[in-house]
């Protein structure tokens, strides 16, 4: 006769496993049945521990979402800054071009200036 699989599973989790299980559950990564399978224990072991510590599924999702949003904002801020720098550079180049164009007009060399421009 084969032993019942439920009887062969350990009935306890280590302190580290309990802490990890709570974090995974509260982040919404796994449900209780998945955690029981992951740690190789019966579901009631997980249920008892979560009841004792007051674990609530998804409780930490708000904090995780805030972290992800902060990362996204930081990346977008860096991109915006690079775009601003590129725009400043382009404006400076345009200013130099316009100054050269005006100078050529004042000196009566506008035709020469235009001859160097590519035809569109």
Q: Are residues 76 and 34 in the same domain?
A: no
Question: Would you give the distance in Å from CA 82 to the centre of its chain?
Answer: 19
| Distance in angstroms (rounded) separating the CA atoms of residues 93 and 47 | 67
User: How far is residue 23's CA from residue 38's CA, in Å, rounded to a whole number?
Assistant: 14
Token readout for 86 is: 């590129």
Contact of 42 with 48, CB cutoff 8 Å: no
Q: What pTM did the predictor assign? A: 0.46
Per-residue pLDDT of the chain (120 residues; tens, 9 = 90+): 454 544 556 678 899 999 999 999 988 889 999 999 999 999 999 999 999 999 988 787 777 788 889 999 999 988 889 999 999 999 999 999 889 888 888 887 777 655 555 556
Asked if the structure places residue 119 within a domain, the reply is: no
CA atoms of 8 and 110, how far apart (whole Å): 93
What total number of domains does the chain contain?
2
If asked whether residues 47 and 75 sit together in one domain, one would say: no
CA 43, 6, 47 angle in degrees (round to 5)? 15
Identify the pLDDT of residue 86: 92
Query: Which residue range forms the structural domain that includes residue 94?
Result: 62-112
For 47-85, the DSSP string reads HHHHHHHT--TTTTHHHHHHHHHHHHHHHHHHHHHHHHH
Residues 67 and 32 reside in one and the same domain = no
């Amino acid at each position: 006769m084969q032993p019942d699989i439920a009887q062969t599973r350990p009935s306890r989790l280590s302190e580290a496993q309990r802490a990890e299980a709570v974090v995974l559950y509260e982040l919404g990564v796994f449900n209780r049945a998945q955690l029981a399978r992951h740690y190789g224990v019966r579901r009631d072991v997980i249920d008892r521990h979560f009841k004792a510590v007051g674990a609530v599924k998804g409780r930490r999702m708000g904090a995780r979402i805030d972290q992800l949003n902060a990362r996204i904002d930081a990346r977008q801020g860096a991109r915006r800054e690079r775009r601003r720098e590129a725009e400043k550079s382009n404006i400076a180049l345009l200013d130099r071009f316009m100054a050269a164009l005006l100078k050529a007009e004042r000196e009566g060399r506008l035709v020469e200036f235009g001859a160097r421009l590519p035809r569109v």
